[in-house]
Amino acid sequence: MNTKKSPPVNTHDTAYVQELTDIIVRNISGVILGKSDEIRLIITALFCDTHVLIEDVPGTGKTRLARSLSHSIQTDFKRIQFTIDLLPSDLTGIHFFDRKEDEFVFRPGPLFTNILLADEINRATARTQSSLLECMEEKQITVDGKRFLLSAPYFVIATQNPVETIGTFPLPEAQLDRFGLRISLGYPDKETSRQIMNVYSQSDPFETLQPVCNADDILVARKICSEVTIHPLITDYILDIIEVTRHHSAVALGASPRAAITMMNIAKAFAATNGRNFVLPDDIKALAKPVLSHRLLLKTTGYASDSLSEGSVMSDNVIEQIINQVPCPTETFFS
């Protein structure tokens, strides 16, 4: 049996990922101004085959950012506006009897796509939200006992406004854990707001947005990111952070094993988008909050997604304490 390991990805390959990332970031930044770091994080999630929850107050560009990403990639895109009366079958599709063909035919729902925008996901009931569990984790959909495989890449961007609680249903633990990242766009500063007003006073830049890559480019980037080197010491660093979340005095329920795997995979993609073929400890520090904040159940406020003003702030504070507490491997060893 051949046990020889394949060679690690080289810097030429990671340079390709970095260039592709920069191209997509520049394209979207023409529509969403002043948020290049957040855009880069979303692309990182796309490259490591996980999903993103964008959480912020109305008017900050959540939906427009998701749509701009989908329009930057020449692939299939669907948008679902989640509402309280939305049914699971509205998402998955149904079998109906075709009288002309004299047989039952399957009509696929909007979950059958490459990039899915689940807009205001917390406005649907828990039963409808659960329709996303299988497709997000297993890249398949089961309808009436029949399994349908989804085409790659499959990427879900969900948005929600956590401030508004009337008519909303908080995402359950299982759903939250399937999002690799949770990010918040926040308000732009005054100068950026002035630029936005100047740009949009002339025309809507979204109307002229053009694709800059296709699905094959994303799949190539995913393969490269999966082969980025991660040193055992950094793996241990991730595990130490995860372990401390489970014993912190302010945390009722810590991060799951899926969180550790997600952190590792996102760190590898994050390194590749920055042109490196190896992960640094600083990558873990930079990703800790967006990867872990929505996965912690705090003793005082519940999940961080339940309250933007309390939960996410407290969760970020807890994660910052943990990062400062856990010994970090020396970076000179990896560079």
Give the CATH number for residue 24.
3.40.50.300
Residue with tokens 């020889």: 4
In whole angstroms, give the CA distance from residue 178 to residue 50: 8
What was the pLDDT predicted at 151?
94
pLDDT score, position 1: 39
What pLDDT does residue 313 have?
62
Residue type, 49: D
Query: Per the confidence metrics, is the pTM higher than 0.75?
Result: yes
Residue 3 lies in a domain: no
Determine, yes or no, domain membership for 82.
Answer: yes
Per-10-residue mean pLDDT of the chain, 335 residues long, equals 56 96 97 95 97 91 92 94 95 86 86 95 93 93 92 95 80 90 92 94 93 96 96 96 92 91 97 96 96 88 48 80 92 58
Domain presence at residue 172: yes
Split into its structural domains, the chain has a count of 1
Does some domain include residue 193?
yes
- Looking at residue 9, what is its pLDDT? 81
Is 5 within a domain? no
Burial (CB count within 10 angstroms: exposed 0-12, middle 13-18, buried 19+), residue 327: exposed
83: left (phi over 0), alpha (psi -120 to 50) or beta: beta
**Cβ pair 181, 53 in contact under 8 A:** yes
Residue 1 resides in a domain? no
Number of Cβ within 10 Å of residue 23's Cβ equals 15
Structural domain contains residue 107: yes
> How far apart, in whole angstroms, are the C-alpha atoms of residue 25 and residue 105?
41
Q: Please indicate, yes or no, if residue 115 is contained in any of the structural domains.
A: yes
Give the residue numbers spanning the domain of 291.
11-333
Q: What is the DSSP-derived secondary structure letter of residue 85?
A: T
